[in-house]
Amino acid sequence: QVQLVESGGGLVQAGGSLRLSCLASQLTLNSRAMGWFRQAPGKEREFVAGSKWSGDGTYYADSVKGRFTISRDNAKNTVYLQMNSLKPDDTAVYYCAAPRSRYYIGSYSRQSEYDYWGQGTQVTVSS
Protein backbone atom coordinates (compact mmCIF):
# COMPACT_ATOMS: atom_id res chain seq x y z
CA GLN A 1 0.00 0.00 0.00
CA VAL A 2 1.43 3.33 -1.07
CA GLN A 3 1.91 5.83 1.72
CA LEU A 4 3.15 9.39 1.78
CA VAL A 5 3.85 10.66 5.25
CA GLU A 6 4.51 14.33 5.91
CA SER A 7 6.33 15.62 8.96
CA GLY A 8 8.05 18.76 10.17
CA GLY A 9 5.06 21.00 10.70
CA GLY A 10 4.55 23.05 13.82
CA LEU A 11 4.12 26.49 15.30
CA VAL A 12 6.57 29.19 14.28
CA GLN A 13 6.72 32.96 14.53
CA ALA A 14 6.45 35.14 11.47
CA GLY A 15 9.81 35.39 9.76
CA GLY A 16 10.84 31.95 10.91
CA SER A 17 11.57 28.78 8.96
CA LEU A 18 10.39 25.19 8.80
CA ARG A 19 11.36 22.23 6.70
CA LEU A 20 8.67 19.75 5.80
CA SER A 21 9.50 16.19 4.81
CA CYS A 22 7.50 13.70 2.79
CA LEU A 23 8.60 10.09 3.12
CA ALA A 24 7.21 7.60 0.64
CA SER A 25 6.72 3.90 1.15
CA GLN A 26 5.81 1.35 -1.49
CA LEU A 27 6.46 4.08 -4.05
CA THR A 28 9.76 5.08 -5.61
CA LEU A 29 10.13 8.84 -5.77
CA ASN A 30 13.12 8.60 -8.09
CA SER A 31 12.05 9.71 -11.57
CA ARG A 32 8.68 10.80 -10.26
CA ALA A 33 7.18 14.28 -10.22
CA MET A 34 6.18 15.54 -6.78
CA GLY A 35 4.03 18.33 -5.49
CA TRP A 36 3.24 20.21 -2.32
CA PHE A 37 -0.18 21.70 -1.71
CA ARG A 38 -1.78 23.43 1.25
CA GLN A 39 -5.24 24.10 2.61
CA ALA A 40 -5.98 26.96 4.95
CA PRO A 41 -9.10 26.99 7.14
CA GLY A 42 -12.16 27.83 5.09
CA LYS A 43 -10.24 27.79 1.83
CA GLU A 44 -9.71 25.35 -0.99
CA ARG A 45 -6.53 23.35 -1.28
CA GLU A 46 -3.99 25.18 -3.41
CA PHE A 47 -0.74 24.46 -5.18
CA VAL A 48 2.48 25.45 -3.41
CA ALA A 49 5.41 23.82 -5.21
CA GLY A 50 6.17 21.12 -7.75
CA SER A 51 9.18 19.21 -8.92
CA LYS A 52 9.74 17.67 -12.33
CA TRP A 53 10.49 13.93 -12.30
CA SER A 54 14.14 14.62 -13.12
CA GLY A 55 14.47 17.09 -10.28
CA ASP A 56 15.91 19.75 -12.58
CA GLY A 57 12.69 21.70 -12.86
CA THR A 58 10.88 23.30 -9.95
CA TYR A 59 7.71 25.36 -9.94
CA TYR A 60 6.16 27.59 -7.30
CA ALA A 61 3.02 29.50 -6.56
CA ASP A 62 3.59 33.23 -6.79
CA SER A 63 2.76 33.59 -3.11
CA VAL A 64 5.75 31.47 -2.04
CA LYS A 65 8.26 32.14 -4.81
CA GLY A 66 11.61 33.19 -3.39
CA ARG A 67 10.72 31.91 0.09
CA PHE A 68 10.00 28.19 -0.38
CA THR A 69 12.20 25.54 -1.97
CA ILE A 70 11.22 22.02 -3.01
CA SER A 71 13.97 19.42 -3.12
CA ARG A 72 14.39 15.69 -2.99
CA ASP A 73 16.74 13.01 -1.69
CA ASN A 74 16.16 9.94 -3.81
CA ALA A 75 18.39 7.81 -1.60
CA LYS A 76 16.04 8.54 1.31
CA ASN A 77 12.93 8.40 -0.88
CA THR A 78 12.00 11.76 0.58
CA VAL A 79 10.88 15.11 -0.74
CA TYR A 80 11.32 18.32 1.23
CA LEU A 81 9.77 21.74 1.36
CA GLN A 82 12.03 24.36 2.90
CA MET A 83 9.96 27.31 4.03
CA ASN A 84 11.68 30.56 4.94
CA SER A 85 10.38 34.01 5.86
CA LEU A 86 7.10 32.51 6.91
CA LYS A 87 4.03 34.69 7.12
CA PRO A 88 0.73 34.22 8.98
CA ASP A 89 -0.91 33.68 5.57
CA ASP A 90 1.19 30.51 5.20
CA THR A 91 -0.80 28.90 8.00
CA ALA A 92 -2.37 25.76 6.57
CA VAL A 93 -2.26 22.00 6.42
CA TYR A 94 0.45 21.04 3.97
CA TYR A 95 0.17 17.94 1.78
CA CYS A 96 2.63 16.18 -0.46
CA ALA A 97 1.41 14.37 -3.53
CA ALA A 98 2.72 12.07 -6.24
CA PRO A 99 1.41 10.90 -9.60
CA ARG A 100 0.97 7.22 -10.31
CA SER A 101 3.24 7.30 -13.36
CA ARG A 102 6.95 7.87 -13.31
CA TYR A 103 8.36 10.34 -15.82
CA TYR A 104 5.10 12.27 -15.76
CA ILE A 105 5.30 15.69 -17.41
CA GLY A 106 2.63 18.28 -16.83
CA SER A 107 1.96 21.58 -15.15
CA TYR A 108 2.56 20.05 -11.69
CA SER A 109 0.12 22.59 -10.25
CA ARG A 110 -3.23 20.81 -10.69
CA GLN A 111 -4.49 18.46 -8.02
CA SER A 112 -5.87 16.18 -10.72
CA GLU A 113 -2.31 15.37 -11.81
CA TYR A 114 -1.65 13.56 -8.56
CA ASP A 115 -2.89 10.15 -7.49
CA TYR A 116 -1.31 9.68 -4.08
CA TRP A 117 -1.63 12.08 -1.18
CA GLY A 118 -0.29 12.26 2.33
CA GLN A 119 -2.37 12.95 5.39
CA GLY A 120 -1.00 16.44 5.83
CA THR A 121 1.01 18.30 8.44
CA GLN A 122 -0.14 21.46 10.19
CA VAL A 123 1.89 24.64 9.86
CA THR A 124 0.88 27.58 12.02
CA VAL A 125 2.61 30.93 11.72
CA SER A 126 1.96 33.42 14.48
CA SER A 127 2.22 37.17 13.99
Task: Report the sign of the C-alpha dihedral through residues 109, 83, 117, 103, in that order.
Answer: positive
Instruction: Point out the least confidently predicted range of 22-26, 104-108, 123-127.
Output: 104-108
Task: Report the sign of the C-alpha dihedral through residues 1, 43, 84, 113, in that order.
Answer: positive
* pLDDT tens digits for range 33-65: 999 999 999 999 999 999 999 888 999 999 999
- For residue 73, give the H/E element and its range: strand 68-73
User: In whole angstroms, what is the distance from residue 24 CA to residue 109 CA?
Assistant: 20
Nearest C-alpha neighbor of 116 from the set 93, 94, 99: 99
Residue 8: predicted pLDDT: 98
How high does pLDDT run on average in the chain? 97
Residue 55: predicted pLDDT: 82
* pLDDT tens digits for range 81-102: 999 999 999 999 999 999 999 9
